[in-house]
Structure 1
Amino acid sequence: MTSDNTQIIERNLVGQRQDDNDDDEIDLLKLWQTVWRRKWSIITLVLVVTMVTILGVLAITPIYRAAATLLIEEKAAKVVSIEQVYGLEGAGTEYLQTQFELLKSRALAERVVRQLNLTTHPEFDPRQQPEPLIDVSGVLAKLDFRKAMPFTMPGDLQSGLDTTEADIFDAVTIEFMERISIAPQGKSQLVKVQVDMADPYTAALAANALTNGFIETQLEATMEMSMTATNWMNSRLGELRTKLKSAEDRLQAFREKENLVDVDGVTTISAAELSLTGDRMIDARSQRAEAESQYRQVQSMRNGGWERLATIPAVLGHPLIQQFKAEQAKAQAKVEELSKRYGPGHPAMAAARSDLSAASGSLRGQVEQIVAGIERNYQLALANENSLQASFNSNKSKIQDISRKEFQLRELQREVDGNRALYDTFMTRLKETAATSDMDSANARVVDKAVVPNEPIKPKKSLIVAIAALLALFVGVGLTLLLDALSNTFKSTEAVEGRLNIPVFGILPMIKQGERSDMARLFTTDKDKSFSESIRTIRTGVVLSAIDHPHKVMVITSSIPGEGKSTVSVNLAFALGQMERVLLIDADLRRPTLAKSFDFPVGTPGLANLIAGNAKLEECIKTVDGIDMICAGTVPPNPLELLSSQRFAKAIEVLKGRYDRIIIDSPPTQAVSDAIVLSTLADSLIYVIKSDSTHIPLVEKGVGQLLQNNAPVKGIVLNQVDIKKAQKYGYSYGGYYDYYGYSSNKTA
């Protein structure tokens, strides 16, 4: 690998790391430049949207709002429990919210609609509405749509069919209710009743009619409910009196039947006895449990003889048992001591064994007595517990019997008390009906009547226009950034050098598509001054890139077909031919273009024939306008094998001795691998990129493949640049483009 290629690869790695770091950060300057390049498009969008919004706002009918102020007070009515029946008793938010809903009720709206005769008002009457652009009713009539509808159509659709007065009244009422709004004034009891209409005078009349109708409705409801409550309580009072008398009779009859005088005293005595018996029963149960535990131990060890019985804790802990066990142990010790000195038949041994047998017999007898005592204690404890349990159950049965009678007595007493309380309450409320002095009062009064409004509340024309313009601006900026993000192509030389870290030799302006011969001779014919100057700039970059060690063999390639590499090759060859001896070789053996561009005869021998040995070098070389050319020749079935052969390498070595510069037109890198093979014989490689067309990842992949195979990539040519579009969007190409040549071309 050469030192130049090593430096290029290192620059690419550094640039790649920088790009990765940049991807994690938002470049605000880049975003601003993107937006600034399309500023006129964004401004145009904002102006168009603003003008359309202005026209739309001017076509909207202005709406006026009339408001009347009400004071809603809380009061405790004195008319036959109206607080509970009608809901006047309450406080705070719940009460005010109830009044607000009453102000928006359908009944009140219908009252105002009838009072102001809004069914004939042009703003509400569907019969006076302007004709729609589409006659829906006519279409429905033709389709006989009404027969297929299982429901009644509301609103405007129904008005086009068999509209009745009831339907019109219903539609007007719904429309009027939608125009009513209630606005509480802070934490006070003041509330504004607002009506929105296109007719300001009618809006004021409707607001005042709503407030007056609300007050009148309150008074009417108060009077109606008080009369209804009085009539109902009069009839109810007789029923309550009868029920109270019946309850009292049942209570007295129960007392006489059960001979009840002082139920509470009897219950208290029985409860005390039951409690005392329960305490004794608890103690007896505890004693029985303890005796039973000892008894169970005795029963479990009775089969083991008296020795096992002596190990029971209740037996072992007895003082006499401990005394007899001590005597037995003493006699046993004496026997063991004498057995060491005397034989079994010695009189002292016989006396000691006799004492041991007597001690064991005494211990056994005492153990049996204690065991018998444990059994007797268990039997006594069990009998005592059963006796107390029977006594407890007897007392409990008596108390339950008394409790049942007490429960029935109290139930009858509660019934009497409830009927008496209800009777007294109704009697008190009935007497309150005499206090009708405040029947004509209401809980609301008008503070400010509605006046005819002078200015409409909507539409807010300035605000709507401002919001529309702002949204258009945001949409324009967003679309600009989105389109820029989606356009993943090279548009400027700065972008190319920033992503690839390879110098750009120059750019070529976009040329209208013409015949191949015209594209190939653009430099020599000099029809397009800007194109010619651009080729000269590229020529200068090529020459200066290796001024100390001129690159004789140059390969020109691209990523994909159609990027203009062949046009660049031919015109650059003509430009270099003005200074040097140049040979142009068409090495794209699959899709050759050189012979077609210069109208070489069919069958003209070329590179394929030269490598295959079917033609001599002089037969393959054609001279056109001062430069020599070798076309592709007969298209072979194995182009890559020919280009990889030693014959081709030897031919290049021979040609290097005859020419100052050899330019090879190579196939695209992403189509075939011919360019990689050709780069092994070249001193430099120029990569052609089609501006605003070839995707960046495709270019990066092609250049990366070349660099990985030690290809001497020296520079980039950005082809088919739309100069007008680039200048419009703010792209600058600096020294890569001859501005004066472009200007002279435009004026020519």
Structure 2
Amino acid sequence: MNYGSQREFERGIQEPAPHEIDLLELFATIWRGKGRVLAAAIVAMIAGAYYAYGVATPTYTARASVALENRQEQMIELESVMSGLSGDQATINTESEILRSRRLAQKLVVQQGLTDDPEFNPFIRPSRTYSISGLKERLLGQVPQTPTEKRVLDVTTNNLMSAISVSNVRSSYVFNIQLVTTDPEKSARLANGLADLYIEDQIVLKNEATERAISWLSQRVATLQSELEIAEQKAQDFAAQTTLVNSETLEALGLQVKNVRARIADVRATRDEGAIRIAEMEAARESGETEVMRLAASDSRFDQLADQRTSKAALLIRFDEVLSAIKADHQRAALQLSSLQSGLARLESNFDEQSTDLVKLEQLQREAGAARSLYEFFLTRMKETAVQTGMQQADSRLLSEAIEPNGPSAPRTSLVLVLSGMLGLMGGVGSVLVREMKQDSFRTAEDLAQTTGASVLGQIPSIPEKARKNVLEFFIRNPTSPAAEAIRNLRTSLMLSDLDNPPKVIMTTSSIPGEGKTTNSLALALNFAGLGKKVLLLEGDIRRRVFAEYFDITNKSGFLGVLSGESEFEDVVTHHEGLGIDVLIGVKSDTNAADLFSSERFAEFLSECRDRYDIVVIDTAPVLVVPDSRIIAHHVDAIVFTVKWDATTKVQVTSALRQFEMVGKPVTGLALSQIDPKGMQRYGYGGRYGAYAAYGSDYDQ
């Protein structure tokens, strides 16, 4: 039999596909779903057109331009209290935020009376029945409350701020003010109003700042004047209290102290010299020697007397006279020194006192001078600032007034349609890809063969008959229909699967019920009979027993009677004249079906059927439901596994096939059943896979 080896099978159904993106397959998937993609794009464009032309309210954008004056020419040559703006990036950002500020927006609301405009004041709009707040009030049974004036002003200001946008022209000091409303005249009026308010606000702020500066300077000047008067009065009072005339008098007094000190030094030297001489003379007198006394006296008269060899008594008298004179001089010097020292003490005391007074007076005079300088500075500043009142210039000027726009700025219908189409295309592509990702069934024979590793023997389209009895009539009535041709292809592939030993006993099964295996069994038996073969159709699914719905067979015990020996084969088999086949149905039994098919009697029964018929087709139960099919598989020559198109999951199919591999009986081939040609075309596979695509949907030709 021509089927993949177990290793190939396990590799096909167990090893996951590598996580790679096949771009060609991705584009092929999108191309197959082009109808859905185009439909999504068309629907999205229709929705966009409905929104642009029927739902959206046209809005108009007006723009005014304001230029920032970073250099200002003063009308007077005085330093301004409110200097011009610097023009750096921080200043530009600040001015941009001021233009968007709530304060200016609120001023514009009051100036333009926007609280009476329904566009900005939602509380005066005609009806709130279908709004969120109105619906909430109705559901909760709340009575609408009249908003306060502050609430109305706040809400109106918020709505106006959302309609304002400010941008700075790159590498310039120009600001563009844009205002979006539903009326072109209103947009231009509000944009110009905001620009005017911005410029006016700058002048007002400067004037207010000037007035505040003048007020503060006036208070400061008055305070400084009072402090100056107090400082000057202190200096005058201190000058009146002291005996100090001026610094020159103090300098003369210092010179006098210096002279007295020099005089004291001279007198002290004289006194000391006298004391030394007195001591020397007294020592000489005690010695009594004439020469010694001559040296000590140093007196010319004494020298004359000594030369004349005057008596010693006369010499002593003269010596005493000299000594007395020296003692008198010494006493006068001592008295003079004492007098000079007393006078010096008085002079020094007077000098120190007047020095301290001079230092304090100079300090008071300096404080008064500093107070005067500060007072004069602030007085000058106050007068300069007062002169500038009413001469302030704005830091900005109106560069371009806003004009009424010629047409609405939104919605941009062409852009809406383009974006809607693009969104529709993306949505369509997304839905196609999501559908493809979620798809876990088989739509093509190629996918089925690639996933399972087994051969696909046939692709059978769905039969346009609902009742089971009509299925037989359909095959008899339409021998050249796509379904009949597909069964012929299945039969041919099955017989060619093993040319040396063509199969005689053929089993059909599936993963779960409802996949079309019974219909395939009937059609396959009919095709073999058309070749002149003697065919037996055996109902191996004795649990459901659906053959009774295809054939009018009554009072028959079925092949279970033959197995039990209660009936002869000829008595229970039924020949169908229209199909040209023998049919052997199954009947209900108390014996477990799996035990029955495992018996030696069943094997002998199939051996007898081989001898009686050219082809035996056994319709068995689904693999994943009961084990009957795996047991019967040991007695057959070929296994046809039916998979329902776009229904049976890959997990179910691979699990069922694995059941056969486990018992050592891999399936001969697969049959993709109940294929919907229209569905294949809808998925984008029409005309690409399988012969049935060429027949279209008309099965009765």
Normalised TM-score (structure 2): 0.72
Distance 1:715 1:81 in 2: 106
Is residue 2:19 matched to residue 1:66? no
Closer, same or farther: CA 34–665 of 1 in aligned 2, 3 Å: same
User: How far does residue 31 in structure 1 lie from its aligned partner after superposition?
Assistant: 2.0
Q: Note if 1:693 corresponds to 2:652.
A: no
Counterparts of 1:328-347 in structure 2, within 5 Å, are none
Residue 535 of structure 2 is aligned to residue 582 of structure 1: yes
1:538 has 2:484 as partner: no
Listed as ranges, the matches of 1:517-666 within 5 Å are: 517-526=469-478, 529-578=481-530, 579-602=532-555, 604-625=556-577, 626-666=580-620
Q: How far apart are residue 559 of structure 1 and its match?
A: 0.6
Query: Matches of 2:423 and 2:79 in 1, distance apart?
Result: 56
Post-superposition shift, 1:686? 0.6
**What is the SS of the residue equivalent to 2:64?**
strand
Aligned counterparts of 2:75 and 2:213: Cα–Cα separation in 1:
12
Using a 3 Å threshold, how does the CA distance of structure 1 residues 553 and 190 change in structure 2: closer, same or farther?
Answer: same
SS in 1 for 2:699: helix
Q: 1:73 to 1:702 in 2, by over 3 A?
A: same
- Pairing 1:8–2:5 present: yes
Deviation for aligned residue 1:233:
2.2
RMSD: 3.8
| Letter matched to residue 653 of structure 2 | V
Q: Structure 1 residues 516 and 58 mapped into 2: Cα distance closer, same or farther (>3 Å)?
A: closer
Q: Distance in 2 between matches of 1:495 and 1:729?
A: 14
Deviations 1:481-517 (A, max 9, x none): 1111112011111211222232222222223453333
Distance 2:575 2:461 in 1: 28
Corresponding residue for 2:290?
A: none
List aligned pairs for 1:726-741, cutoff 5 A: 726-732=680-686, 736-737=690-691
Residues 700 and 81 of structure 1: CA distance in aligned 2, closer, same or farther (over 3 Å):
farther
How far 1:734 sits from its partner (Å)? 6.8
Tell me the amino acid that sits aligned with residue 581 of structure 1. Answer: K
SS in 1 for 2:9: helix
In the TM superposition, what is the alpha-carbon distance from 1:566 to its structure 2 partner? 1.5
Aligned to 1:220: 204
Structure 1 pair 549/567, CA: closer, same or farther in 2 (3 Å)? same
**1:139-538 alignment, distance < 5 Å:** 140=137, 145=142, 161-162=145-146, 168=152, 170-240=154-224, 426-436=378-388, 439-512=391-464, 514-526=466-478, 529-538=481-490
1:742 Cα shift? Answer: 6.0
Q: For residue 391 of structure 1, what is the aligned residue in structure 2?
A: none
Partner of 1:306: none
- Any idea what SS the aligned residue of 2:570 has? helix
What is the distance in 1 between the residues matched to 2:596 and 2:381?
Answer: 121
**Residues 740, 52 of structure 1: alpha-carbon distance in 2 compared, 3 angstrom cutoff:** closer
Q: Tell me the SS of whatever aligns to 1:670.
A: coil
Counterpart position of 2:287: none
Q: Is the 8 A contact 1:222 1:439 kept in 2?
A: no
CA distance in 2, matches of 1:517, 1:32: 44
Q: Distance in 1 between matches of 2:663 and 2:616?
A: 21
Is the CA contact 2:509–2:619 (under 8 Å) kept in the aligned structure 1? yes
Shift in alpha-carbon separation, 1:417–1:498, aligned structure 2, 3 A:
farther
CA shift digits 1:685-726 (9 cap, x unpaired): 110111111001111111122133221522211111111221
1-structure distance, mates of 2:63, 2:676: 64
Contact 1:589/1:636 (<8 A) preserved? no
The residue type equivalent to 1:588 in the other structure is D
Q: CA deviation at 1:586?
A: 1.3
Q: Judging changes above 3 Å, is the alpha-carbon distance between structure 1 residues 142 and 663 closer, same or farther for their aligned structure 2 residues?
A: closer
Q: Distance in 2 between matches of 1:506 and 1:728?
A: 21
2:106/2:157 contact within 8 Å kept: yes
Is the partner of 2:67 in helix, strand or coil?
strand
Partner of 1:134: 130
Q: 1:559, 1:670 within 8 Å by CA — same for their partners in 2?
A: yes
Residue 689 of structure 1: SS of its match in structure 2?
strand
Q: Is the 8 A contact 1:522 1:532 kept in 2?
A: no
2:637 is aligned with 1:683 = yes
Greater shift, 213-222 or 432-441, is seen at 432-441
Distance 2:686 2:386 in 1: 99
Once the two structures are superposed, what CA deviation does each residue of 1:449-473 show, in whole Å capped at 9, x if it has no partner? Answer: 2222223322222222211211111
CA distance in 1, matches of 2:104, 2:523: 90
3-state SS in 2 of match to 1:108: helix
Q: 1:138 to 1:481 in 2, by over 3 A?
A: closer
Is the alpha carbon distance of 1:240 and 1:610 closer, same or farther for their aligned partners in structure 2, counting shifts above 3 Å?
farther
Once the two structures are TM-superposed, the CA of residue 638 in structure 1 deviates from its matched residue by 1.5
SS at match of 2:533: coil
Whether 1:671 and 2:625 are equivalent positions in the alignment is yes
* Partner SS, residue 92 of structure 2: helix
Distance 2:389 2:409 in 1: 44
User: Which letter does structure 2 place at the counterpart of 1:228?
Assistant: R
CA distance in 1 between partners of 2:677 and 2:139 (Å) = 61
Please state whether the residue corresponding to 1:745 is helix, strand or coil.
Answer: coil
Aligned length: 567
| Alpha-carbon distance between aligned partners in 2 of 1:684 and 1:606, rounded to the nearest angstrom | 23
Residue in structure 2 matching 1:706, options 652, 660, 663: 660
Q: What SS is found at the alignment partner of 1:433?
A: helix
- Residues of 1 paired with 2:681 and 2:223: CA distance? 101
Give the number of the structure whose alpha-carbon radius of gyration is greater: 2
Q: Secondary structure at the match of 1:566?
A: helix
Measure how far apart 1:741 and its partner are: 6.2
Match of 1:48 in 2: 43
Partner of 2:312: none
Per the alignment, residue 283 of structure 1 pairs with: none
Distance in 2 (alpha carbons) for counterparts of 1:141 and 1:576 = 75
User: How far apart, CA to CA, are the structure 2 residues paired with 1:15 and 1:417?
Assistant: 107
2:218 partner amino acid: N
- Contact 1:82–1:88 under 8 Å retained in 2: no
The separation in 2 between residues aligned to 1:418 and 1:597, in whole angstroms, is 127
Distance 1:740 1:194 in 2: 64
Contact 1:522-1:528 at 8 Å conserved across structures: no
CA distance in structure 2 between the partners assigned to 1:110 and 1:735 by the alignment? 71
CA contact (8 A) 1:78 1:435 kept: no
Which of these residues, 13, 19, 26, is aligned with residue 21 of structure 2? 26
Amino acid at match of 1:446: L
| Structure 2 residue identity aligned to 1:58 | Y
Partner of 1:323: none
Structure 2: runs of 5+ lacking an equivalent? 239-366
Which letter maps to 2:553?
F
Bigger drift between 473-482 and 236-245 goes to 236-245
1:178 and 1:740 mapped to 2: Cα distance? 62
Distance (whole Å) between structure 1 residues aligned to residue 473 and residue 84 of structure 2: 101
Q: Contact 1:510/1:720 (CA < 8 Å) preserved in 2?
A: yes
What is the identity, as a one-letter code, of the residue corresponding to 1:25?
E
**Structure 1 length as normaliser, TM-score?**
0.68
Secondary structure at 2:657 match in 1: helix
| Contact 2:686–2:693 under 8 Å retained in 1 | no
What is the aligned partner in structure 1 of residue 333 from structure 2? none
One-letter identity of the residue aligned with 1:34: T
Closer, same or farther: CA 599–635 of 1 in aligned 2, 3 Å = farther
Superposition deviation, residue 668 in structure 1: 1.1
Q: In structure 1, what is the Cα distance between the partners aligned to 2:595 and 2:140?
A: 77
What is the alpha-carbon distance in structure 1 between the residues aligned to residue 139 and residue 691 of structure 2? 71
